């Protein structure tokens, strides 16, 4: 069993805590936040969603299912802009989902797109990176929920963005599997997600004058810097 409870998580989202894998600096482990149980999450949803079984509120289970599905439908191209998923391990904080940890060329953990835009604005470099993510989303028709700025990380080489990587929020929320939908409907959905991503970017840009980083998500809790060779960190 892997021991995480004594380690500081490097980030947290609305549902999960993220730890650097104790035995592999290029992987992370996501566990449920102990302060926000599945039962709490179900209660928060209200009627009729709260009638669903508890397991349907488990992001880790859902992510593993979605990633296996996308791996077989999209194939290797998926990982140009999506982190690899390696399945479950047992930890002292419950089942942990292991994923590829996205690091920059200096070994530090990649920050979110939200943090990048907050710090630097929508630079030309960032515009190009967002546009190649969107082209990829269109070409591969990758189903996702809304592309949130704290669910995308910026992998950097020096001060340039190497690529954007989506680390959460994949899959289709509807009951009908995305790939069963007619092509025109799939394309329309993808375009809606892309338009929504640009809206979020513009809304964040309009908040940049404020003193405080907006919202609760999108900042790292710490950023360790182990010595990892460039080729390994960006492969
Ligand atoms: N594979 C990853 N590589 C780098 N950072 C990550 C990775 N996965 C998650 N993170 C960081 O952890 C935060 C929370 O992770 P996330 O999977 O979005 O949790 P939640 O399901 O609770 O929203 C992200 O906003 C990001 O900063
Ligand atoms: Mg998230």
Ligand 1 centroid – CA 18 distance (Å)? 6
**30-220-203 Cα angle (round to 5):** 105
Residue 228 has pLDDT above 60, yes or no: no
Q: Which range is least confidently modeled, 41-50, 138-147, 161-170? A: 41-50
Residue 166 inside a domain? The answer is yes
Residue 5 inside a domain? The answer is no
φ, ψ dihedrals at 30, nearest 5°: -110, 125
Residue 3 inside a domain? The answer is no
Q: Which pLDDT value is given to residue 213?
A: 94
Rg over CA atoms, the chain: 18
Report the share of the chain in percent with pLDDT over 70.
95
The protein residue whose alpha carbon is closest to atom 16 in ligand 1 is 13
Residue 5 has pLDDT above 80, yes or no: yes
Residue 214 inside a domain? The answer is yes
What does the pLDDT look like over 14-72, one tens digit per residue? 999 999 999 999 999 999 998 877 788 788 888 888 888 777 778 899 899 999 999 99
Mutate to test the pocket of ligand 1, among 9, 10, 12, 13 (most ligand atoms within 8 A of CB): 13
Residue 4 inside a domain? The answer is no
Residue 62 inside a domain? The answer is yes
Ligand 1 centroid – CA 182 distance (Å)? 32
How many domains is the chain built from? 1
Task: Tell me how crowded residue 207 is: count the other CB atoms within 10 A of its CB.
Answer: 13
Mutate to test the pocket of ligand 1, among 166, 167, 219, 223 (most ligand atoms within 8 A of CB): 167
Name the residue range of residue 35's domain. 11-234
Residue 94 inside a domain? The answer is yes
Residue 70 inside a domain? The answer is yes
Collect residues with CB below 5 Å from ion ligand 2: 13, 151, 168
What does the pLDDT look like over 167-195, one tens digit per residue? 999 988 777 788 888 999 999 999 999 99
């Amino acid at each position: 069993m892997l021991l995480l409870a004594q380690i500081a998580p490097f980030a947290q989202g609305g549902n999960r805590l993220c730890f650097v894998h104790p035995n592999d600096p290029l992987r992370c482990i996501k566990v449920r936040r102990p302060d926000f149980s599945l039962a709490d999450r179900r209660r928060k949803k209200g009627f009729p969603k709260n009638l669903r079984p508890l397991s349907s509120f488990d992001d880790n289970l859902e992510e593993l299912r979605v990633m296996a599905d996308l791996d077989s439908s999209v194939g290797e191209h998926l990982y140009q802009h999506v982190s690899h998923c390696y399945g479950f391990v047992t930890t002292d904080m419950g089942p942990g989902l292991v994923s590829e940890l996205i690091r920059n060329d200096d070994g530090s953990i990649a920050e979110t797109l939200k943090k990048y835009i907050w710090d630097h604005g929508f630079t030309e470099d960032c515009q190009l990176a967002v546009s190649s993510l969107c082209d990829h989303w269109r070409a591969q028709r990758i189903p996702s929920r809304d592309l949130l700025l704290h669910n995308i990380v910026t992998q950097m080489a020096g001060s340039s963005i190497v690529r954007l990587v989506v680390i959460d929020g994949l899959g289709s929320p509807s009951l009908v599997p995305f790939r069963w939908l007619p092509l025109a409907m799939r394309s329309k959905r993808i375009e809606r997600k892309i338009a929504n991503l640009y809206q979020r970017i513009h809304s964040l840009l309009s908040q940049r004058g404020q003193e405080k980083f907006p919202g609760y998500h999108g900042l790292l809790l710490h950023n360790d810097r182990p010595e990892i060779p460039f080729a390994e960190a960006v492969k």
